[in-house]
Structure 1
Amino acid sequence: MSYFLLFVLAGFIAQLVDGAIGMAYGIINTTLLLSLGIPPVVASASIHVAEVFTTGISGLSHAFFKNIHRQLLIYLAVPGVVGAVTGAFVLAHLSERFAKTCIVIYLTLMGLFILYKAIRMKSTAKAAVTFKKSRIIPLGLLGGFFDVAAGGGWGPIVTPSLIASGIEPRYAVGSTNFAEFFVALFSTIVFILILGISVTSWQIFVGLLVGGAIAAPLSAYVARSIPRKIFTFIIAIAVILLSLRMMVKLIFF
């Protein structure tokens, strides 16, 4: 199998998971690309630019399957962009280890809380469709900031927080995915035009993009189809495993 097909496969797997549960695109792609011997800088640059396109396709797919809450999308996207652009400028001055430590603590607590809610949730329970703007806007700012400053965090921070607040998982995942398009777009523009970061391997970028484009509609359908209780369990376990992985890397590497 050629390297290009492996890049397509990596993009497909990462987008399938991210589009369905709202997180882990960067982690999965980074893990797979590094295992293929791709330099970290090249992998990171390729993933971020490919993410602009894959999140756009994923967002439109979620909109097609009616997984988007319009107001929620706006309240996440606008502050998310502000947080991401701010994060891009302070990246050189913020300790990456400190930022990731904060995310690990937050994710662990949030994952356990969502798991607790999933255990107590009745199969017929109705999810919330209303929310407070005063809680969503700071969440978007925080998610956008750490996504850039700590090299990832939009999905893991925003999605579980929305679900923990009682918002239906498919709306939380769909709205978070679509909002991430705007976050990825503006942060990439800042990196390329202002900080001078560019993609150094078109083969990786195109491979991730093709794989992600194929997986996006399928992942949106999966998000719509999974029962709420099961979906909440999946999100909880994913968040806990993600936080444990980050914790191990912080302690031992």
Structure 2
Amino acid sequence: MKTLLTFALVGFLAQLIDGSLGMGYGLSSSTLLLTFGVAPAVASATIHLAEIATTAASGISHWKFGNVEWRTLYLLTIPGAAGAFLGASFLSQVSGAAVKPYISLFLLGLGLYIVCKSFTRRNIQPRSLTKGKSILLGLFAGFADSTGGGGWGAIATPVLLSASHDPRKAIGTVSASEFAVSVAASLGFLASLNWNVLNGYWILTLMGSGIVAAPLAAFLVRKLPAKILGPLTGICIILLNMHILLRA
């Protein structure tokens, strides 16, 4: 019971952070599962199965609050799902730990760029990534998300912000598109892993607590001004990836 309560608390806080800053659910949840000695592939599979429900709730909530940019959503979703499926199949055979430091170094640089730009440039008009860049971003972020147990938001959100997207739209769009990524990753893991290694109670606990937190997170994104969301997200990116690099 104590373990399930711990999972419920982590799932709630992780979704609250992820839905309001566009990242953090996979990283927080995978850290917990790995602490319990769960294998990386099983941990990532557990998280993505839980995220099918939490990302659906998050996507609907962000849509209701007007936080979604539909063009970017369409461009990210299909390549993101393809990358996630490939990443899940890959991780089922090898460990994704070796590439984590390189991804984190890239994200750390983006985080610094976002924070610096937030304090040095004002009144930037939101713009969209090109079609080609959006597709490449989806493939890369989806693959990294599956192999690392999380990372869709941590990669896609800072890239969109660095391209001068409205922070509210960037966070909402990334959160909404993550549903397809979670479904594709789960299918990849289920096709490659033995279902008996998965703990249904853990999955349901993470699902339930995340669903409760999703509407609150979308509401916070709607209310917080862009001049706070941008730097706050950048600082979060820097701290998370410094932590990963120091542990590598």
The 1:65–1:89 alpha-carbon spacing in structure 2 relative to 1, beyond 3 Å, is same
Gaps of 5+ in 2: none
Structure 2 distance, partners of 1:194, 1:34, is 20
Contact kept? 1:192, 1:198, Cα under 8 Å: no
Match of 2:243 in 1: 245
The 1:153–1:223 alpha-carbon spacing in structure 2 relative to 1, beyond 3 Å, is same
Match of 1:160 in 2: 158
Give how far 1:19 is off: 0.4
Following TM superposition, the consecutive aligned residue runs of length 4 or more in structure 1 with deviations greater than 6 angstroms are none
Match of 1:52 in 2: 52
For residues 97-108 of structure 1, the aligned pairs below 5 Å read 97-108=97-108
Match of 1:25 in 2: 25
Q: Report which stretch shifted further, 188-197 or 40-49.
A: 40-49
Identical residues among aligned pairs (%): 38
Q: CA RMSD in A?
A: 2.0
Structure 2 distance, partners of 1:92, 1:45, is 9
Contact kept? 1:52, 1:185, Cα under 8 Å: yes
Aligned counterpart for 2:234 among listed residues 218, 233, 236: 236
For residues 88-103 of structure 1, the aligned pairs below 5 Å read 88-91=88-91, 96-103=96-103
Aligned counterpart for 2:138 among listed residues 127, 131, 140: 140
The 1:24–1:98 alpha-carbon spacing in structure 2 relative to 1, beyond 3 Å, is same
SS in 2 for 1:40: coil
The 1:30–1:5 alpha-carbon spacing in structure 2 relative to 1, beyond 3 Å, is same
The 1:127–1:2 alpha-carbon spacing in structure 2 relative to 1, beyond 3 Å, is farther
Return the letter of the residue paired with 1:202.
Answer: G
Match of 1:12 in 2: 12
Contact kept? 2:87, 2:146, Cα under 8 Å: yes
Match of 1:84 in 2: 84
Return the letter of the residue paired with 1:89.
Answer: S
Q: How big is each residue's C-alpha offset from its partner over 1:113-143, in whole Å with a ceiling of 9 and x where there is no partner?
A: 1011111133xx2541443212211111110
Contact kept? 2:67, 2:173, Cα under 8 Å: yes
Return the letter of the residue paired with 2:46.
Answer: S
Match of 1:213 in 2: 211
Contact kept? 2:124, 2:164, Cα under 8 Å: no
Normalized against structure 1, the TM-score is what? 0.89
Contact kept? 1:10, 1:33, Cα under 8 Å: no
Match of 1:182 in 2: 180
Structure 2 distance, partners of 1:157, 1:6, is 27
Structure 2 distance, partners of 1:241, 1:141, is 25
Q: Report which stretch shifted further, 101-110 or 2-11.
A: 2-11
For these two proteins, the number of residue pairs brought into alignment is 246
SS in 2 for 1:77: helix
